[in-house]
């Protein structure tokens, strides 16, 4: 049952605290604060870390600014701390020490007190307090079984001499959720140490005649500081044996003014029964004079006039008063050693701490009775847990030093040295000129170094052709294109373009036509264009094999694009234009310097005149709708250019280089600018989607046969369309059938990839379709190039004809196999 003398859990009436006031209290009471932190911290941390953590917690307990308090402080209670600055710093130390004892959780961020301290820090040494005796070891084991709040309650009552009400208030202010349970844990330790409590830390006697550790006013009959006569065993002051004592189990005085009660320890604390201190030494009041109420103290004094309370440094004529009464035999009436190690005319206050420099961080310890040192063990008696808290075992300022693991430390030093050397080497390699993300934009780290690669990445080594070179050159291709554009002198842009070409990073959108190598240039490439186009900086480069287009936004290098197109063997028409930009469904071209005129022609409208397309001084055209980005085939715009030898048609198939459109036999095709060619392309242009983004160099349409249709339906036309690639392989061939109606698109009869049919090497082609006549009848129609002597069908439909065309009546949905015989007798199958 708790005995409290003040209002429970009411905050102490502490006024505002300045930083200077808190600092003064911390410096003055630093040893006591570090001891409190050391005792409250969990023993599982280890003594070395507990010592460093205790010092760290105290050193960072100062407020950052003035701490506000109540406008009108309430009257100070008996249990309240004397100094508001000390009370504040002590509360901060307790709060941090309790947080440091909380376990770390996986999903929660650790708090600062739970982490190892940064300062103070010791390298190469392990520090721990001096080793005590068996009593200190037993107390340390009992404290290790308590929770953090329980240790805090025990320390506040045993070391700080606080009553229960103040202990509850301090624990609640430190963030303890259940202060009463913490106080109960402290009671369990008091009962486990074997002490009868006659030397209670707060100097109060228990109601049953014994002096308890917990607070509460004692009755006069239970006072150990009575008249010294015999007391009855029921607590009236007389024992059954007639010896003076507080209970039947009390032992007699040893003749030196020292009671042999287990755990009774002197020191700066309150009296043993009535709240006063026992005086020491002869005086006007006789032996034992100097009690708290001015009455004679109980029990005989030592022969040398000193009180035999361990830690109470009395001298003849000096008494310990709480109410300010002067000590016997001392003119100044100074009390015993108070909490800060000093005694004043008005007496000392037990709440200030241990007497006279207990601990290794502060003042020098005073002499003890019998010549013992502070914290020394007297084999003739046991000490209570409260008194043991002031021993050197729990002093984190009086320390011993030992080395750490020397062998492991040497191994760690070698590993750290090797890691440092590796870090320096890597940093030197990464910091070499020309490397790094910042200088080269979106380029990835360099993977090789050689003179040719370095020259290829140097913007100053780029080949630049003068504007008039092409007029006197014997060849007209990309090699004589002049360098054009408003940014041809932007070295940073050109450096980024070359670096991204050589080492495209993960953020670069890269594309290439089939069969085009995407590696870095083998030497300095040729600069064709550098300028701003449709909100992007565009660079066109050529290395003799490929045309490379680099584009990046005007703001920054994020979202860079890199396009490769194979252009080896380009002639005058093949190098007439390159795509500069595609945006919003439109396309812009950069034309060759020999192109005199540009226009836009819709292939699906052969009778419509072309629309002129303007260009600027650099040869860049205005935007025109691109069929490569269209989702429907309602129009198919082609770029019509005119050079010194005639007009050309170029189609955008989604690649950097447009494809040339041709018309005629494979051996001698011409540009598809004539009337017959335009009419044929008007019905077959939509089939160009089958060869889009395939690395196409040119597309040739050839009318290889005409056929009279059954039932007098007119004449049908057979076309062969072949797309040649820049790489020479992977060509695609389409066989198409055109009915007599000019507005009907061509019907796809056959498709083949990689076949030499309809090309220069093999100009022969054979194809067939299932066709329905206007009268409703179904026929198998077939046609071959002029080299075929006869055609034959088998399978679901059987028939044969002499010559390159065939028409056989069939049923709807019929299937047949088609083959033919050439004039030289070889049998050839249909295109597939």
How far apart CA 743 and CA 679 sit, in angstroms, is: 10
Rounded-to-10 torsion of CA 146, 152, 156, 157: -20
* pLDDT at residue number 672: 95
Task: Report whether pLDDT(307) > 60.
Answer: no
Phi, then psi, of 611 in degrees rounded to 5:
-100, 130
Terminal alpha carbon distance of the chain: 104
How far apart CA 705 and CA 804 sit, in angstroms, is: 8
Written as six digits, the tokens of 696 are 């196409």
Question: pTM score, two decimals?
Answer: 0.52
Written as six digits, the tokens of 349 are 């206050």
3-state secondary structure of 84: helix
CA angle 292, 295, 299 (to 5 degrees): 95
pLDDT tens figures, 724-737: 999 999 999 999 99
pLDDT tens figures, 655-682: 999 999 999 999 999 999 999 999 999 9
pLDDT tens figures, 771-800: 999 999 999 999 999 999 999 999 889 999
Q: Give the residues across from 533 on adjacent strands.
A: 536
For residues 77-82, average pLDDT: 52
CA distances from 188 to 159, 214, 504, 757, 811 (A): 17, 11, 73, 104, 107
- DSSP class of residue 484 equals B
Residue 211: pLDDT band (50, 70, 90) is: very low
Residues 6 or more apart in contact with residue 826 via CB below 8 angstroms: none
Of the candidates 431, 543, 552, 580, the one whose C-alpha atom is nearest the C-alpha of residue 493 is 552
Residue 47 vs residue 202, higher pLDDT? 47
* pLDDT at residue number 76: 52
Residues 6 or more apart in contact with residue 524 via CB below 8 angstroms: 455, 456, 458, 461, 462, 463
Of the candidates 563, 650, 667, the one whose C-alpha atom is nearest the C-alpha of residue 601 is 650
* pLDDT at residue number 611: 95
CA diameter of the chain = 156
Cβ count within 10 A of residue 209: 27
CA distances from 478 to 75, 173, 646 (A): 99, 84, 19
* pLDDT at residue number 356: 35
3-state secondary structure of 33: helix
For residues 385-412, average pLDDT: 83
CA angle 131, 133, 135 (to 5 degrees): 125
Of the candidates 746, 733, 758, the one whose C-alpha atom is nearest the C-alpha of residue 683 is 746
* pLDDT at residue number 68: 62
* pLDDT at residue number 45: 86
pLDDT tens figures, 259-278: 333 333 333 333 333 333 33
Residue 405: pLDDT band (50, 70, 90) is: confident
Question: Any long-range contacts for 579-582 (C-beta under 8 Å, 24+ apart)?
Answer: 579/549, 579/652, 579/655, 579/656, 579/657, 579/658, 580/529, 580/533, 580/538, 580/540, 580/549, 580/620, 581/533, 581/534, 581/536, 581/538, 581/551, 581/623, 582/626, 582/628, 582/629
Residue 33: pLDDT band (50, 70, 90) is: very high
| Pairing state between β 509-512 and 561-566 | parallel
For residues 448-454, average pLDDT: 72
Residues 6 or more apart in contact with residue 787 via CB below 8 angstroms: 763, 764, 804, 822, 823
3-state SS record for 349-366: CHHHCCCCCCCCCCCCCC
Of the candidates 555, 438, 459, 554, the one whose C-alpha atom is nearest the C-alpha of residue 501 is 459
Residue 753: pLDDT band (50, 70, 90) is: very high
Helix then strand then coil, % of the chain, to nearest 5:
25, 20, 55
The DSSP-derived string for 337-349 is: --TTS---TT---
Task: Report whether pLDDT(585) > 70.
Answer: yes
Q: Give me the percent of the chain exceeding a pLDDT of 90.
A: 43
* pLDDT at residue number 454: 81
Residue 296 vs residue 25, higher pLDDT? 25
> Residue 359 region, left (φ>0) first, then alpha (ψ -120 to 50), else beta?
left
Task: Report whether pLDDT(324) > 60.
Answer: no
* pLDDT at residue number 299: 36
* pLDDT at residue number 402: 85
Residue 15: pLDDT band (50, 70, 90) is: low
In this structure, is the dihedral angle defined by the CA atoms of residues 344, 346, 347 and 350, taken in order, positive or negative?
A: negative
pLDDT tens figures, 593-649: 999 999 999 999 999 999 999 999 999 999 999 988 788 899 999 999 999 889 999
Residues 6 or more apart in contact with residue 106 via CB below 8 angstroms: none
Residue 399: pLDDT band (50, 70, 90) is: confident
pLDDT tens figures, 330-361: 333 333 333 333 333 333 333 333 333 334 55
Written as six digits, the tokens of 658 are 């447009």
Cβ count within 10 A of residue 143: 21
Task: Report whether pLDDT(196) > 60.
Answer: no
> How many CA atoms does the CB half-sphere of 19 hold within 13 Å?
7
How far apart CA 362 and CA 335 sit, in angstroms, is: 21
* pLDDT at residue number 67: 63
How far apart CA 404 and CA 426 sit, in angstroms, is: 32
* pLDDT at residue number 250: 35
For residues 528-537, average pLDDT: 95
- Boundaries of every domain in the chain: 19-71+82-122+146-192, 435-570, 696-829
Rounded-to-10 torsion of CA 174, 180, 184, 185: -30
Mean pLDDT (the chain) is 76
For residues 789-814, average pLDDT: 94
How far apart CA 152 and CA 171 sit, in angstroms, is: 8
pLDDT tens figures, 222-243: 333 333 333 333 333 333 333 3
Residue 187: pLDDT band (50, 70, 90) is: confident
Residue 255: pLDDT band (50, 70, 90) is: very low
* pLDDT at residue number 113: 78
Q: Give the residues across from 108 on adjacent strands.
A: none
Query: Among the listed ranges 355-364, 472-481, 802-811, which one has the minimum average pLDDT value?
Result: 355-364
How far apart CA 260 and CA 273 sit, in angstroms, is: 17
For residues 681-701, average pLDDT: 93
CA-only gyration radius of the chain, Å: 53
How far apart CA 474 and CA 546 sit, in angstroms, is: 21
Consecutive H or E run containing 737: strand 732-738
Phi, then psi, of 423 in degrees rounded to 5:
-65, -40
Residues 6 or more apart in contact with residue 282 via CB below 8 angstroms: 289, 301, 305, 316, 317, 328, 329
How far apart CA 781 and CA 607 sit, in angstroms, is: 30
Query: Among the listed ranges 425-429, 458-462, 477-481, 575-579, which one has the minimum average pLDDT value?
Result: 425-429
3-state secondary structure of 799: strand
* pLDDT at residue number 685: 94
Written as six digits, the tokens of 237 are 């002051």
In this structure, is the dihedral angle defined by the CA atoms of residues 506, 512, 517 and 523, taken in order, positive or negative?
A: negative
* Residue 163: exposure state from Cβ atoms within 10 A (0-12, 13-18, ≥19): buried
Query: Among the listed ranges 366-370, 393-397, 618-622, 770-774, which one has the minimum average pLDDT value?
Result: 366-370
């Amino acid at each position: 049952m708790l005995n409290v003398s003040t209002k429970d859990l009411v905050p102490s009436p502490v006024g505002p605290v300045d930083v200077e006031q808190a600092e003064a209290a911390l410096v003055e009471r630093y040893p006591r604060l570090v001891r409190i932190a050391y005792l409250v911290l969990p023993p599982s941390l280890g003594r070395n870390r507990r010592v460093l953590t205790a010092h760290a917690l105290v050193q960072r307990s100062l407020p950052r600014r003035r701490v506000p308090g109540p406008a009108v402080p309430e009257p100070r209670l008996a249990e309240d701390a004397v100094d508001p600055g000390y009370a504040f710093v002590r509360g901060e130390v307790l709060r941090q020490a309790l947080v440091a004892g909380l376990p770390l959780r996986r999903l929660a961020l650790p708090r600062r007190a739970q982490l190892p301290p940064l300062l103070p820090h010791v390298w190469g040494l392990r520090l721990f307090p001096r080793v005590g005796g068996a009593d200190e070891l037993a107390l340390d084991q009992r404290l290790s079984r308590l929770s953090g709040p329980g240790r805090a309650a025990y320390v506040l009552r045993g070391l700080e001499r606080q009553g229960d009400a103040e202990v509850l208030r301090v624990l609640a202010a430190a963030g303890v959720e259940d202060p009463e349970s913490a106080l109960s844990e402290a009671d369990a330790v008091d009962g486990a140490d074997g002490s009868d409590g006659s030397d209670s830390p707060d100097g109060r006697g228990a109601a049953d005649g014994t002096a308890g550790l917990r607070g509460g006013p004692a009755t006069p009959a239970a006072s150990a500081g009575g008249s010294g006569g015999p007391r009855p065993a029921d607590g009236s002051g007389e024992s059954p044996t007639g010896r003076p004592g507080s209970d039947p189990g009390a032992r007699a005085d040893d003749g030196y003014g020292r009671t042999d009660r287990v755990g009774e320890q002197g020191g700066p604390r309150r009296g043993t029964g009535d709240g006063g201190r026992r005086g020491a030494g002869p005086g006007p009041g006789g032996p034992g004079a100097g009690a708290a109420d001015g009455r004679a103290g109980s029990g005989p004094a030592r022969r040398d006039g000193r009180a035999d309370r361990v830690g109470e440094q009395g001298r003849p004529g000096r008494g310990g008063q709480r109410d300010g009464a002067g000590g016997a035999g001392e003119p100044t009436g100074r009390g015993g050693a108070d909490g800060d190690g000093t005694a004043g005319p008005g007496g000392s206050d037990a709440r200030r701490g241990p007497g006279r420099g207990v601990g290794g961080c502060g003042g020098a310890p005073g002499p003890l009775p019998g010549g013992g040192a502070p914290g020394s063990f007297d084999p003739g008696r046991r000490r209570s847990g409260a008194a043991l808290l002031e021993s050197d075992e729990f002093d984190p300022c009086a320390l011993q030093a030992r080395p750490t693991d020397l062998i492991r430390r040497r191994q760690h030093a070698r590993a750290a040295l090797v890691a440092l050397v590796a870090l320096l080497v890597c940093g030197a390699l990464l910091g070499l000129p020309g490397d790094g993300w910042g200088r080269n934009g979106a380029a990835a780290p360099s993977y090789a170094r050689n003179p040719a690669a370095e020259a290829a990445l140097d913007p100053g080594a780029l080949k630049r052709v003068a504007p008039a070179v092409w007029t006197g050159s014997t060849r007209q291709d990309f090699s004589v294109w002049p360098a054009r554009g408003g940014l041809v002198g932007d070295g940073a842009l050109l450096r980024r373009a070359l670096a991204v070409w050589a080492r495209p990073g993960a953020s670069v959108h890269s594309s290439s036509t089939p069969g085009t190598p995407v590696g870095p240039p083998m030497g300095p490439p040729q600069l064709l264009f550098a300028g701003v186009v449709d909100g992007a900086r565009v660079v066109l480069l050529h290395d003799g094999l490929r045309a490379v287009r680099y584009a990046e936004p005007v703001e920054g290098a994020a979202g860079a694009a890199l396009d490769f197109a194979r252009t080896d063997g380009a002639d005058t028409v093949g190098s007439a234009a390159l795509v500069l930009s595609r945006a919003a469904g439109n396309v812009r071209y950069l034309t060759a310097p020999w192109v005199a005129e540009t226009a836009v022609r819709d292939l699906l409208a052969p009778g419509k005149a072309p629309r002129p397309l303007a260009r600027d001084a650099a040869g860049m055209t205005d935007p025109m709708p691109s069929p490569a980005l269209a989702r429907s085939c309602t129009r198919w715009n082609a770029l019509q250019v005119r050079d010194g030898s005639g007009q050309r048609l170029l189609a955008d198939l989604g690649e950097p280089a447009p494809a040339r459109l041709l018309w005629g036999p494979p051996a001698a095709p011409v540009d598809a600018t004539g009337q017959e060619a335009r009419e044929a392309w008007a019905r077959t242009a939509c089939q160009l989607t089958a060869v889009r983004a395939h690395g196409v160099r040119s597309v040739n349409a050839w009318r290889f046969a005409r056929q009279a249709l059954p039932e007098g339906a007119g004449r049908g036309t057979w076309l062969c369309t072949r797309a040649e690639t820049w790489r020479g392989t992977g060509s695609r061939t389409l066989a198409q059938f055109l009915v007599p109606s000019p507005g009907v698109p061509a019907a796809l009869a056959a498709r083949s990839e990689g076949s030499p049919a309809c090309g220069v090497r093999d100009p022969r082609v054979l194809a067939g379709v299932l066709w329905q006549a206007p009268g409703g009848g179904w026929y198998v129609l077939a046609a071959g190039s002029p080299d075929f002597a006869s055609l034959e069908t088998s399978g679901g439909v059987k028939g044969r004809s002499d010559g390159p065309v065939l028409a056989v009546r069939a049923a709807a949905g019929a299937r047949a196999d088609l083959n033919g015989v050439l004039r030289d007798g070889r049998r050839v199958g249909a295109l597939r």
